[in-house]
Homo-oligomer: A and B are copies of this chain.
C-alpha cells in the first residue's frame, strides 16, 4: 500500500479519521466477507456486492466467466469499498450525531488470476470463509475452475476511514440535558442450521461457530 495518499484517496472530510497504512487496511479487509465493487459501462455506473478475501497485498474476488461484472472489471478501472458499521454515536445536538465505522476504498484495475494461482486463491478463499473446511469438501473440478474467473486488485491505491469512540459535541452543547454515548453493533454468529439431508456429526469449525 502506498503510504502517501493520491489525489483520489486523500480524505478531505474529517481528515483526522483517515488512515493510509497497510495494517489498518488489511484488518478492515480481513474482517469482511463482502465488498462493494463500483464500475461503469455504457449503461451507467454499477455498484455490486461480491465476496472478497485478501492474500498479501491483493484483494481477490471471483465470478462466472460470463458475468457482466467479470468482463467489465477486466476492461476498466473500478473502486472497491468495504464498510463495517460499529455503532450509533448519540451526541447532545442533532447534527453532532454520527456513526462509528471502519471503511476502506481501493482504486485500481482487476487482473485475472489463472492456472495454479487461481486454484490456490480459491482454496485461500475457503480457508478465509471457514478455516479447516477445504479438507472436507468435494474439491473443484477442472470444469468448475474453467468456468470461474478469479480476479485480484492491488492494494497500492487505497485509503481507510475509521471513526471510533464517543460523541464530540461542541463546547456550547455539552450541558444540553440529553443522554450521550454510543449504541454499539456487533456481527454475531447464530446457531448453525444443519441441512435436513445431512446426517453427519458437526465438525469442529461448526461446533465452534457460535463462539466465534
Q: Does A61 contact B (CB under 8 A)?
A: no
Whether A95 and B36, one on each chain, are in contact in the complex, defined by CB atoms closer than 8 angstroms, is: no
Provide the residues of chain B in CB contact with A179, threshold 8 Å: 136, 194, 198, 200-203, 206
User: Cβ of B81 and Cβ of A49 under 8 Å apart?
Assistant: yes
In the assembly, how many copies of this chain are there?
A: 2
Query: 4 closest Cβ contacts across the A-B interface?
Result: A38-B38, A38-B47, A188-B188, A49-B83
Q: Determine whether the beta carbon of A44 is less than 8 Å from that of B77.
A: yes
Q: Which residues of B contact A202 (CB under 8 A)?
A: 179
Q: A13-B64, A126-B97 are in contact. Are A43 and B206 (CB under 8 A)?
A: no
Q: Mark A85-104, 1 if CB is under 8 A from B, else 0.
A: 10110111111010101010
| A183 and B189 contact, CB distance less than 8 A | yes
Query: Within the assembled complex, what's the spacing in Å between the Cα atoms of A64 and B78?
Result: 25
**Per-position contact with B for A158-170: 1 when CB-CB < 8 Å, else 0?**
0000000011000
In the complex, whether A137 has a CB less than 8 A from a CB of chain B is: yes
Decide yes or no whether A8 CB sits under 8 A from chain B: yes
Distance (Å) between the CB of A73 and the closest chain B CB?
A: 11
B-chain residues with CB within 8 Å of residue A194 when the two chains form the complex = 179-181
Sample (7) of A-B pairs whose CB atoms are under 8 Å apart: A33-B85, A36-B36, A90-B133, A93-B137, A137-B176, A184-B193, A186-B187
A64–B67 alpha-carbon span in the complex (Å): 37
Q: Is the C-beta of A115 less than 8 angstroms from some C-beta in chain B?
A: no
Is there a chain B Cβ closer than 8 Å to A71's Cβ? no
